[in-house]
Amino acid sequence: MSKKKVTLNIDKNVSNSIQDENVKLDTETDNVEPNLEIDDVSKDNDESKGEDVSIEETVKIQNKEIEDLKDQLLRSLAENENLRKRTIKEIGDAKKYSHISFVRDLISSVDNLQRALAAVPENKSELSEPIKNLIIGLEIIEKEIINTFEKHNITQICPVGEKFDYNLHQAMFEVPTNEKDPGYIVEVSQKGYLLNDRLVRPAMVGISKKPEEESLEKNNK
């Protein structure tokens, strides 16, 4: 009888200890599971927030890049348009004024021809027939040269009686006179020339001024 009781008591103690361990394990697992679930939720929230922030930043960066590209495109288009206009203007100027140095050299020869014709006396009856014919030929050549100048937009400046313009004329001397108001051109010593609207050479002129007697009287008064 005594042996049986002991065995029973041992079995009871073992079963009780096993039950206690199971209870402890259950309580531990119950305590751990809620903590794991909270950590997982917080991690998911942090990841979603990080994704939202990164998307907003990338959108801002891309919009800025788009604006920069638009600005560069507009600038390049404006530069190309300015280059096109400048090229067209340069081509037009080259067509109009590329031969200005040739014209400048040529008009000096025309000046010599006109000076020679100006030295011919007005009364040609006293001259011999060959000289008359020579002078007539030179006059025809002068007219042809002037006509050729006009075809190529080369214009003479012979401003007798006009108001002095420093853009077209160069004053060489003053002429006291009462026939013209001061500042008018009364004599042209050398003609000027224009190529289209560009000055090749200014006209060398004499300008009218008041006589010295009148100016002295006014100063005395």
- Positions of the chain with pLDDT lower than 50, given as ranges: 1-15, 18, 22-38, 41
Beta-sheet pairing, 154-157 with 192-195? antiparallel
Q: Give the pLDDT confidence score for residue 34 in this predicted structure.
A: 45
Q: Give the pLDDT confidence score for residue 75 in this predicted structure.
A: 94
How many CB atoms are closer than 10 A to CB 176? 14
Cα–Cα dist 56/44, whole Å = 19
Q: Give the pLDDT confidence score for residue 3 in this predicted structure.
A: 41
Residue 65 host element (H or E): helix 2-97
Q: Give the pLDDT confidence score for residue 128 in this predicted structure.
A: 87
Instruction: Give pTM, 2 decimals.
Output: 0.59
Give the residue ranges of DSSP H helices in 98-128: 100-118
- Where do the domains of the chain lie? 1-96, 99-212
How many CB atoms are closer than 10 A to CB 111? 14
Task: Look at residue 219 and give its three-state secondary structure.
Answer: helix
Just give the CATH number of 99-212: 2.30.22.10
Give the list of residues 6+ apart from residue 12 with CB closer than 8 angstroms, or none: none
Q: Give the pLDDT confidence score for residue 55 in this predicted structure.
A: 87
Give the list of residues 6+ apart from residue 23 with CB closer than 8 angstroms, or none: none
Q: Give the pLDDT confidence score for residue 203 in this predicted structure.
A: 94
Rg for the chain, CA atoms, rounded: 55
Burial zone of 80 (CB within 10 Å; 0-12 exposed, 13-18 middle, 19+ buried): exposed
Q: Give the pLDDT confidence score for residue 125 in this predicted structure.
A: 79
The position carrying tokens 């003053």 is 174
Q: At what angle do helices 100-118 and 129-151 cross, to 10 degrees?
A: 150
